[in-house]
Chain A
């Protein structure tokens, strides 16, 4: 058994492992491709198809196909197929299963220990959901790793010449469905994430949408008497495929013609690179805007220039991306394995985590992961990262009764972070304090309840007969893996209560149940 790194992408996923000489290697799927479409086709109650075949099935049976499930991770939005509801974690689990099954077919090893990449700005719920998806797939998730960190690792940031000195790297990751941008500093084997930002619903598929809408408009101009192609799921799916093809082609060509077919009518629509850039200009502009925010924050933290600007994610192959960065910031960005870098970096990180687990004795020997024998002495990475969101707890102003969120850890605070603060009861004789752990929901921290999401909750017992404003202490800890613990201490008895946090929508039981259910399905 080996350790694997998995890039669980919004539109494409990829798996890699460390080969015998210590280099990350991407494992091809059964269709012979490096990447597998993150598309799941529930063909029947006991048969699920993942990958290109599922994507092809969208044209014929779009009602039973799921795409872009990564955008729903951390949300409670089940989908129902053949009489059974599937959570996003379960659906992602089927993608993971397909990846590791194909990996086994490729190199013969059973995959068990994996590291799954997540976008840098993913919050606790999303990370937890990803982790649980791995568990549902029957994998042991050693860790989740932020995609920019993985990309930087693949770039070899921490390999080779240690005398290169300190370097600053900006990773611009525009994937199929998400976008994030991260500033890292590298010093020897030490990787520090300075700040990160991103958007959940901004990726290559949004670019495809624009092209689809354009194609539909041209078609409707030509055939005004024919109904909207988007009213027909099959036509829409076909258009999406065509639009994606066109977008990819126009990264290399100047013109591309799409034949829009609907209700027996055909309209050949010519697309040019300039036109597509015009249609998607505002999306690029949004990425630039987020990048600018990140760059400004990095400058505040002492990094005002970048030695490397890495473009990661399939959508960065569009020439407009590099051009916009060049124009807006004067960067000279470089494409670095845009489709594969994250999986490869995740594999490197998995190796590092496995080596750490083995060396630290964290797990019993029988359960310890296999560390590949590369013949090289492994030197562990020292990775410090930042919080992707702000975290706090809900409090009540006793004077006004106004409920709000007080943040203890803020976005881009260096991890691990541990914050201690005193809180008080609000009523005489109060016996219980319900603690709600809130996560910043938007890009900017806000104390308003509606701008935060509850990610965990717990209850603290208070001794009887205590007056109002009775103090208790809360210690709020977030480690580098994003593991959150909250310990509350009642002052009088010094009773410590570690609040068991229920993160996300799935309990462990539900995870186990889902794993069992999945094992009954054939996944191809």
Chain B
């Protein structure tokens, strides 16, 4: 089903807010939710939104529609993908909801009418807003409910004529209810015999008034006579000034007064109605209208409110019409001012439309702007769309159509018209130019404002004409511009899909040529300029006897026969190829580390390209295997030529690097080697007890699964080696190496990778643990208790240097583990211990709580051994 933009505009955009919740209307969905139809409809609707966004009056609606699309999109997408269940369920749910809403709305309408059979326009609008439906929907429901929308009749708030101002009191004196009684009777307390008509009928004309005057004139002179004469005088005055209509207004006022009083006393509409009919003798047809007017004036002047709302909505035409329908002088002061303002604005807007209509076609864009301004002022201005549709749009210029053998490129320059979302419609016809915007094949440019189009598959061998029409899409139905036509141009297709395959002293070509082609002509040009025709088939050629390494150029042209028998050759394609000898494999490959790079050392075969490919295991082909380049992995290792070979970045993990020689499309597999893994972290050596050393390092996950550890004692020959797996390393909490007590150790660790049967060692890390020196001490005590002196005697079997020696007394009963745990009694710095070079530290022992003595030594590799503990007590 084609998208009917005018209908969509009428049903959805012009309807205004709130936007319909019916997805079928909102997205113009087809009856059967066929997936393609749904997709098309949604796309067309969204395109319509985009086009119409430029119209201010639709902006708010379209914003809501676009926001709503985000919610509905999953359902629509699913339906477009062939799964309409969700959308169908949503439509059904909406149908049910709509039925419930309608029932609720009907109930609300009945309630609002209050048995009077009519609703104020403002009430209709409020109900529509409350139920989120358009006002027209509400109006459509009214007849079925026996209701109608009406403006409440304006009721005079005060006595409509000054002459009648005191007559209420006079009627009171006469015992009458209203003017109707007065005019119908002639005796105090009289009652009108017939129901009183209030609307559409005048209570009395001059003859009736004179008749009443005669009846009332018969009363004896007195209060009643005076009152009656006063009323008669007033009625005559009103009649003379305002005619029977003035009397009608007075009657209306008199009838409204008691109803107002009742209404103020919270009487229901039914009570008011009964009062009007039974107590005031108001005609049964007029009473609901009268009560309706009374009920609505209490909430403020409904007409003024409606005027205000319409003016705020920008619906000035309707507002002016509402004001026009009212009798003159019935509007309050402020509402009258508003009505005047509305009329002024409307006249201004109409003036803008007139100006737009009168502008010459060359100023159509300006006219468009004027119409925008007019609509901004009054969005319901009639005739605006008609003027818009009549606005001229200027054509594009500089249209060219160029054939290049593969297709036709059409180019043009923008239309000077910019307003109203101009869109370019591209047309193509054969043999003759298009006549109008609907003539010919419509071609879809990439975007509505594109200025070029590539026609990739035009009809061949026939004169083609291209034309561009411009249309303002923001106003559907508007006239298109005159056509800008280019052509004729003929598409003579070149060969397509041409592929040259260089081989050993031979070049093979394959292609496809159009069915209409009569022949293909190929001319080979050697580097020296020699041109030789090559025998070609319809689908390619094979050119033998060429020199490897020489680049040959081929010019391929296609010959056609025109309808009138002329022979035509295309411009032709120029192709280049170089025949090559078969490649030689790389025989030796060695990968070495240089700085932070690896270098593949190899002997490159002459005249061929060597590529390196990485594998996580042994290469799939043995060396010497010949392959087509298409069989090789997609990406070789990026490598730079270096003097000694190819230089490349270290791979992230151990990799087998394969050297492949490539010539043209042929390749041969060469030698391979392993590229080592990444380096390990720095080593950390720790003496483990008295006889072992623990090596700990950072072992990255991609640095292989094994390391080789080599260690030796400095100054001694021979080294030991051990291979440790990752699991063992974790189990031992490092690598534990045996070492003589206190001896120094040098350790080297390097990762080991085993790939494709090849072992590779990574870069080594080394560390050294220096040897350890031992010293001892004893404590000697002198003097009597209480004046005791203690002396620490430090000894060493081999010369050892101590930076500090300390004698420490603990502050409590606990053994001091470090000097800070007690008070330093004595100390010496920078001393050397050795055989016969004992060092003594003496201090007095004062009485106190501290119960332990201990000495500490600080120096590189220096270990101070404590004497037996019992000697360390403070005694």
Instruction: Name A residues whose Cβ lies closer than 8 Å to a Cβ of B.
Output: 199-202, 278, 281-282, 285-286, 288-290, 292, 440-446, 448, 450-453
- Pairwise interchain contact B163-A451, C-beta atoms closer than 8 A: no
- Interface check B835, CB cutoff 8 A: no
- Interface check B16, CB cutoff 8 A: no
- Pairwise interchain contact A442-B220, C-beta atoms closer than 8 A: yes
- Interface check B861, CB cutoff 8 A: no
Task: Tell me the chain B residues, 164-213 only, with Cβ under 8 Å from chain A.
Answer: 164-167, 213
- Complex Cα–Cα for A282 and B237 (A): 9
Contact of A282 among B213, B217, B233 (CB under 8 A): B233
- Interface check B232, CB cutoff 8 A: yes
- Interface check B225, CB cutoff 8 A: yes
Task: Tell me the chain B residues, 406-451 only, with Cβ under 8 Å from chain A.
Answer: none
**Smallest CB–CB gap between A233 and chain B, Å?**
21
- Complex Cα–Cα for A437 and B860 (A): 162
A285-B237, A289-B236 known; A199-B229 Cβ under 8 A: yes
- Pairwise interchain contact B214-A282, C-beta atoms closer than 8 A: no
Q: CB-CB < 8 A to B221: which residues of A?
A: 199-201, 441-443
- Interface check B218, CB cutoff 8 A: yes
Determine the residue in chain A with the shortest Cβ distance to B236: A289
- Complex Cα–Cα for A27 and B827 (A): 155
**Smallest CB–CB gap between A353 and chain B, Å?**
28
Instruction: Name B residues whose Cβ lies closer than 8 Å to a Cβ of A.
Output: 162-167, 213-223, 225-226, 229-230, 232-234, 236-237
Determine the residue in chain A with the shortest Cβ distance to B164: A282
Determine the residue in chain A with the shortest Cβ distance to B221: A200
A199-B226, A202-B226, A442-B225 known; A281-B162 Cβ under 8 A: yes
- Pairwise interchain contact A289-B218, C-beta atoms closer than 8 A: no
A285-B163, A451-B219, A453-B220 known; A443-B229 Cβ under 8 A: yes
A202-B226, A281-B163, A282-B166 known; A442-B219 Cβ under 8 A: yes
- Pairwise interchain contact A286-B220, C-beta atoms closer than 8 A: no
Q: CB-CB < 8 A to B234: which residues of A?
A: 282, 285
Interface of B, helix, strand, loop or mixed by DSSP: helix
Which of A200, A286, A441, A445 gathers most chain B CB within 10 Å?
A286
Q: CB-CB < 8 A to B163: which residues of A?
A: 281-282, 285
Q: What are some 8 contacts across the A-B interface (CB < 8 A)? A: A200-B221, A201-B222, A282-B162, A285-B163, A289-B233, A442-B221, A443-B225, A445-B218
**Smallest CB–CB gap between A85 and chain B, Å?**
21
Determine the residue in chain B with the shortest Cβ distance to A201: B226
**Smallest CB–CB gap between B370 and chain A, Å?**
51
Q: CB-CB < 8 A to A445: which residues of B?
A: 218
Determine the residue in chain A with the shortest Cβ distance to B227: A201
Determine the residue in chain B with the shortest Cβ distance to A389: B221
**Smallest CB–CB gap between A33 and chain B, Å?**
30
* Given A289-B233, A442-B219; 5 other pairs, CB 8 A cutoff: A202-B226, A290-B233, A443-B218, A444-B218, A446-B218
- Complex Cα–Cα for A281 and B238 (A): 13
Q: CB-CB < 8 A to B164: which residues of A?
A: 282
**Smallest CB–CB gap between A412 and chain B, Å?**
13
**Smallest CB–CB gap between B171 and chain A, Å?**
13
Which of A200, A202, A443 gathers most chain B CB within 10 Å?
A443
Contact of A441 among B166, B219, B230, B236 (CB under 8 A): B219
Q: CB-CB < 8 A to A292: which residues of B?
A: 236
Q: CB-CB < 8 A to A282: which residues of B?
A: 162-167, 230, 233-234
Determine the residue in chain B with the shortest Cβ distance to A445: B218
Contact of B218 among A202, A278, A290, A451 (CB under 8 A): A451
Q: CB-CB < 8 A to B225: which residues of A?
A: 441-443
Q: CB-CB < 8 A to A202: which residues of B?
A: 226
**Smallest CB–CB gap between B232 and chain A, Å?**
7
- Complex Cα–Cα for A430 and B218 (A): 33
- Pairwise interchain contact A442-B217, C-beta atoms closer than 8 A: yes
Q: CB-CB < 8 A to A200: which residues of B?
A: 221, 226
**Smallest CB–CB gap between A195 and chain B, Å?**
15
- Complex Cα–Cα for A54 and B220 (A): 32
- Complex Cα–Cα for A354 and B234 (A): 45
Q: CB-CB < 8 A to B214: which residues of A?
A: 444
- Complex Cα–Cα for A444 and B217 (A): 5
**Smallest CB–CB gap between A54 and chain B, Å?**
26
Q: CB-CB < 8 A to A453: which residues of B?
A: 220
Determine the residue in chain B with the shortest Cβ distance to A289: B233
- Pairwise interchain contact A289-B217, C-beta atoms closer than 8 A: no
- Complex Cα–Cα for A451 and B226 (A): 14
Determine the residue in chain A with the shortest Cβ distance to B238: A285
Determine the residue in chain B with the shortest Cβ distance to A126: B221
- Pairwise interchain contact B220-A441, C-beta atoms closer than 8 A: yes
Which of A199, A292, A442, A448 gathers most chain B CB within 10 Å?
A442
- Complex Cα–Cα for A292 and B226 (A): 17
Q: CB-CB < 8 A to A288: which residues of B?
A: 233, 237
- Complex Cα–Cα for A286 and B232 (A): 8
Q: CB-CB < 8 A to A286: which residues of B?
A: 229-230, 233
**Smallest CB–CB gap between B595 and chain A, Å?**
108
**Smallest CB–CB gap between A278 and chain B, Å?**
7
- Complex Cα–Cα for A452 and B221 (A): 10
- Pairwise interchain contact A285-B233, C-beta atoms closer than 8 A: yes
**Smallest CB–CB gap between B765 and chain A, Å?**
108
Determine the residue in chain B with the shortest Cβ distance to A198: B221
- Complex Cα–Cα for A453 and B219 (A): 10
Q: CB-CB < 8 A to A451: which residues of B?
A: 218-220
- Pairwise interchain contact A289-B162, C-beta atoms closer than 8 A: no
- Complex Cα–Cα for A449 and B229 (A): 20
Q: CB-CB < 8 A to A448: which residues of B?
A: 218
- Complex Cα–Cα for A440 and B236 (A): 24
- Complex Cα–Cα for A199 and B167 (A): 17
**Smallest CB–CB gap between A156 and chain B, Å?**
32
**Smallest CB–CB gap between A511 and chain B, Å?**
24
Which of B162, B217, B226, B234 gathers most chain A CB within 10 Å?
B217
Determine the residue in chain B with the shortest Cβ distance to A286: B233
Q: CB-CB < 8 A to B233: which residues of A?
A: 282, 285-286, 288-290
**Smallest CB–CB gap between B487 and chain A, Å?**
88
Determine the residue in chain A with the shortest Cβ distance to B240: A328
**Smallest CB–CB gap between B421 and chain A, Å?**
64
- Complex Cα–Cα for A440 and B164 (A): 28
- Complex Cα–Cα for A444 and B215 (A): 8
- Complex Cα–Cα for A441 and B220 (A): 4
**Smallest CB–CB gap between A126 and chain B, Å?**
10
- Complex Cα–Cα for A442 and B230 (A): 14
- Complex Cα–Cα for A289 and B223 (A): 18
A201-B226, A443-B229 known; A289-B237 Cβ under 8 A: yes
- Complex Cα–Cα for A451 and B232 (A): 18
Determine the residue in chain A with the shortest Cβ distance to B219: A442
Determine the residue in chain A with the shortest Cβ distance to B220: A441
**Smallest CB–CB gap between B222 and chain A, Å?**
8
Q: CB-CB < 8 A to B165: which residues of A?
A: 281-282
- Complex Cα–Cα for A442 and B215 (A): 10
Determine the residue in chain B with the shortest Cβ distance to A288: B233
A281-B162, A282-B166 known; A442-B218 Cβ under 8 A: yes
- Complex Cα–Cα for A363 and B575 (A): 162
Which of A289, A446, A448 gathers most chain B CB within 10 Å?
A289
- Complex Cα–Cα for A393 and B388 (A): 87
- Complex Cα–Cα for A464 and B222 (A): 43
- Complex Cα–Cα for A292 and B239 (A): 14
**Smallest CB–CB gap between B214 and chain A, Å?**
5
Q: CB-CB < 8 A to A443: which residues of B?
A: 217-218, 221, 225, 229
- Complex Cα–Cα for A451 and B215 (A): 10
- Pairwise interchain contact B217-A278, C-beta atoms closer than 8 A: no
Which of B218, B222, B225, B230 gathers most chain A CB within 10 Å?
B218
- Pairwise interchain contact A278-B162, C-beta atoms closer than 8 A: yes
**Smallest CB–CB gap between A153 and chain B, Å?**
27
Q: Which 10 pairs between the two chains have the least Cβ-Cβ distance?
A: A444-B217, A441-B220, A446-B218, A289-B233, A451-B218, A443-B217, A286-B233, A442-B218, A442-B219, A200-B221
**Smallest CB–CB gap between B873 and chain A, Å?**
111
- Pairwise interchain contact A289-B232, C-beta atoms closer than 8 A: yes
- Complex Cα–Cα for A201 and B219 (A): 14
